Chain A
């Protein structure tokens, strides 16, 4: 035990002496949460648009006013002719052009139908659709207000809407679990896989292996400091979320930290597994970074909801551990759920740990023989 303690101490020293790496590890989650909280928003406002008004009558001007006062759009310029459309999209980068047909008001009042064209830059299909919907909505309202005789259907049904768990529709809620998953996963897996591979590469692993320390003690000694690191990261993310962005912790903090530790152990065991496969540090880095980063961002439900994905990808997402952790964090932290609600996911996380540890032991034995 004394030997083991000395060994853990050595590992702590290794890590905490490299002040640059330490700084990055501590700063990274904070910077990320700040980016998600202050910078990124999927909300659309002030999209730059152009208007080609071939009618220039009172009605089109009123409609234009209505569109621009909505807050969704910002007028970039008035176009003079259709020739300017191409340039408007390519050079001035407007997102949408609204084209009113000639004689708009006349058509509206006498022919009962006036035409308006919404041309959107659909290279970003999502934004295009949303902008087009917003504009249509505003124009339909506008049409309604000029049709005094038609009653408004809204008064018939009184819809009460509740936004559960996130009354103010704050985007940062969604990103807290995601950032936690990403940081814990990548940092832990990367740090262990690199540091173990490094010892392998430079031969210091052999020195440890012939020492009286047992292999599992070596491994546990190596990963203990990272569990502390990960806990610090978890707490700093939660604290930033709570004090800066007012993201609540509705469930038990203790349970949350327990799950975070479990997930960290999972990531560490994955890192250990990678280090048994990788020949040198460079390979370990590529595996733990390149092979893990994008799947963690894209297949975990962090940015894109899993329900929308095609079937094969929904299947693949099942073997992405962060997916389960994100669900757990959401349930405990944002919905206030207890262990009764997350036992299944917890078991899955434990299953992954057993799997990775088992694979590592198998691989390790093969190598020693």
Chain B
């Protein structure tokens, strides 16, 4: 026990004396969190529409007005030809092209269906689908207005739909993204610090000096894990505080639940980092290994894209992705106030994972070659 305390003291001295790394460890994540949370927005606003109006009728004017009035669209220059419009799309200057042919209003008055063409830039699938959805809503409304006898509408039997958004009534997407981005930042810090650490000592030569002493492997590994664990937990707390103060992210759950899960999670991450570290010879090598795993973990974690839509086999792979669990848990605790009993499956998996990861870290560390 005494040896572990001295190992910890040594690690902390080294960390807090490092004047270049310290600000990077603490300031960089804070700055990134504050800025990047704003980048993650899915509210489609400002979809750029170019209308090519060859009809110049009351109806076509009305359509343009309704588009312009909508929160989602931004109607650009109206004096363009269809070719110019398509060129604008190729230049990324417009997202949607609405083409109103010259017989639009004429056909509205006759019984023929009035032709209207919508051309979406569909490279961003989500935006294309959404903008089409919003557009057809507007068109549908106009079409009902232009066609039916309004008195009939009063006769209609209707289903009244009440939408209730639980846990986040204002539909603030930042509430969802902040915990997710925070998890990524804490993970990067933890994984990198632990992964680089051992290799670095190997390269410098201090690892050998330790290996020739009677320090036990588990003591050494605990001495390495604890400081990074504390840094990770402090960082998590700072991040949540920033969320609270700057972005009003609520904390509905019990901090004890979150932080005990975070402790298990960090054990997993740091353990993995140390395993990679003791299996690598150079810092460059360990760097790319970590980078490789990290990118896959992040992309499959559900931070940026929902995991519900993943295929079955991918979800199976995700059972070994620690980020997948933590992202779920932090969002559930912070936003839904989920407790131990609600998150029991995650706690169990992470507990097992932590044991495996730390044991691997101890086993893969070699004092003797």
The answer on direct contact between A and B (beta carbons under 8 Å) is yes
The smallest beta-carbon distance between A350 and chain B, in angstroms, is 19
When distances are taken between beta carbons in the complex, the residues of chain B under 8 Å from A58 are none
Partner of A299, one of B36, B120, B133, B188: B36
A-B contact pairs, 16 of them (CB 8 A): A24-B291, A42-B306, A122-B171, A125-B175, A125-B176, A161-B117, A162-B119, A190-B288, A281-B283, A281-B284, A283-B21, A285-B196, A289-B291, A294-B185, A298-B36, A331-B90
When distances are taken between beta carbons in the complex, the residues of chain A under 8 Å from B119 are 161-162, 164
Nearest A-chain residue to B317, judged by Cβ? A39
User: Is B167 in contact with A122, judged by CB distance below 8 angstroms?
Assistant: yes
When distances are taken between beta carbons in the complex, the residues of chain B under 8 Å from A18 are 282, 284-285
Instruction: Tell me the complex Cα distance, A327–B311, Å.
Output: 30
Partner of A40, one of B89, B128, B152, B299: B299
Contact of A160 with B by CB under 8 A: yes
Query: B-facing mask of A133-174, CB < 8 A → 1, else 0?
Result: 101100110110011011101111111111111110111011
Nearest B-chain residue to A307, judged by Cβ? B46
User: Is B158 in contact with A170, judged by CB distance below 8 angstroms?
Assistant: no
When distances are taken between beta carbons in the complex, the residues of chain A under 8 Å from B171 are 122, 125, 128-129
User: Is A118 in contact with B164, judged by CB distance below 8 angstroms?
Assistant: yes
The smallest beta-carbon distance between A152 and chain B, in angstroms, is 9
Contact of A334 with B by CB under 8 A: yes
User: Is A120 in contact with B311, judged by CB distance below 8 angstroms?
Assistant: no
User: Is B39 in contact with A309, judged by CB distance below 8 angstroms?
Assistant: yes
User: Is B156 in contact with A147, judged by CB distance below 8 angstroms?
Assistant: yes
Partner of B283, one of A121, A136, A194: A194
Partner of A41, one of B156, B160, B184, B305: B305
User: Is A153 in contact with B143, judged by CB distance below 8 angstroms?
Assistant: yes
When distances are taken between beta carbons in the complex, the residues of chain B under 8 Å from A147 are 156-157
When distances are taken between beta carbons in the complex, the residues of chain B under 8 Å from A142 are 159
Nearest B-chain residue to A288, judged by Cβ? B287
A108-B159 CB under 8 A given contacts A47-B308, A309-B41:
yes
Instruction: Tell me the complex Cα distance, A171–B123, Å.
Output: 8
Main secondary structure of the interface of A (DSSP, over half): helix
B residues 116-171 in Cβ contact with A at 8 Å = 116-129, 132-133, 136, 139-140, 142-144, 146-148, 152-153, 155-169, 171
Contact of B108 with A by CB under 8 A: yes
User: Is B127 in contact with A305, judged by CB distance below 8 angstroms?
Assistant: yes
A residues 244-302 in Cβ contact with B at 8 Å = 279, 281-283, 285-287, 289-291, 293-295, 297-299
When distances are taken between beta carbons in the complex, the residues of chain A under 8 Å from B28 are 286, 290-291
Which of the 9-residue segments B212-220, B330-338, B356-364 touches chain A? Answer: B330-338
Top-6 shortest CB links A-B? A122-B165, A158-B113, A163-B122, A153-B143, A123-B335, A166-B122
Nearest B-chain residue to A166, judged by Cβ? B122
User: Is A41 in contact with B283, judged by CB distance below 8 angstroms?
Assistant: no
User: Is A162 in contact with B117, judged by CB distance below 8 angstroms?
Assistant: yes
When distances are taken between beta carbons in the complex, the residues of chain A under 8 Å from B332 are 90, 123
User: Is B168 in contact with A157, judged by CB distance below 8 angstroms?
Assistant: no
A159-B108 CB under 8 A given contacts A40-B310, A149-B155, A153-B147:
no
Contact of A20 with B by CB under 8 A: yes
Contact of A113 with B by CB under 8 A: yes
Which of the 9-residue segments A26-34, A218-226, A234-242 touches chain B? Answer: A26-34
User: Is A21 in contact with B285, judged by CB distance below 8 angstroms?
Assistant: yes
- Chain B contacts to A: CB under 8 angstroms: 20-21, 24, 28, 32, 35-36, 38-48, 89-92, 95, 108, 113-129, 132-133, 136, 139-140, 142-144, 146-148, 152-153, 155-169, 171-173, 175-176, 181, 184-185, 188-189, 192, 196, 200, 280, 282-285, 287-289, 291-292, 295-296, 299-300, 304-306, 308-311, 314, 331-332, 335-339, 341-342
When distances are taken between beta carbons in the complex, the residues of chain B under 8 Å from A281 are 200, 283-284
When distances are taken between beta carbons in the complex, the residues of chain B under 8 Å from A113 are 157-160
Contact of A360 with B by CB under 8 A: no
When distances are taken between beta carbons in the complex, the residues of chain A under 8 Å from B181 are 294
Instruction: Tell me the complex Cα distance, A67–B332, Å.
Output: 27
When distances are taken between beta carbons in the complex, the residues of chain A under 8 Å from B153 are 150
A residues 45-59 in Cβ contact with B at 8 Å = 45-48
Contact of A198 with B by CB under 8 A: yes
When distances are taken between beta carbons in the complex, the residues of chain B under 8 Å from A109 are 157
Nearest B-chain residue to A47, judged by Cβ? B308
Partner of A149, one of B90, B108, B152: B152
Partner of B36, one of A95, A117, A160, A294: A294
Contact of A308 with B by CB under 8 A: yes
Most chain A CB atoms below 10 A, which of B46, B164, B337, B338: B164
User: Is A157 in contact with B295, judged by CB distance below 8 angstroms?
Assistant: no
Contact of A304 with B by CB under 8 A: yes
A174-B124 CB under 8 A given contacts A32-B295, A118-B164, A282-B283:
yes
User: Is A331 in contact with B165, judged by CB distance below 8 angstroms?
Assistant: no
User: Is A27 in contact with B331, judged by CB distance below 8 angstroms?
Assistant: no
The smallest beta-carbon distance between B246 and chain A, in angstroms, is 13
User: Is B147 in contact with A151, judged by CB distance below 8 angstroms?
Assistant: yes
User: Is A151 in contact with B148, judged by CB distance below 8 angstroms?
Assistant: yes
Instruction: Tell me the complex Cα distance, A330–B91, Å.
Output: 10
Instruction: Tell me the complex Cα distance, A21–B339, Å.
Output: 42
User: Is B173 in contact with A42, judged by CB distance below 8 angstroms?
Assistant: no
Instruction: Tell me the complex Cα distance, A330–B336, Å.
Output: 39
User: Is B159 in contact with A334, judged by CB distance below 8 angstroms?
Assistant: no
Instruction: Tell me the complex Cα distance, A32–B36, Å.
Output: 22
A residues 93-124 in Cβ contact with B at 8 Å = 95, 108-109, 112-124
A44-B306 CB under 8 A given contacts A35-B300, A142-B159, A285-B283:
yes
A112-B158 CB under 8 A given contacts A39-B314, A126-B176:
yes
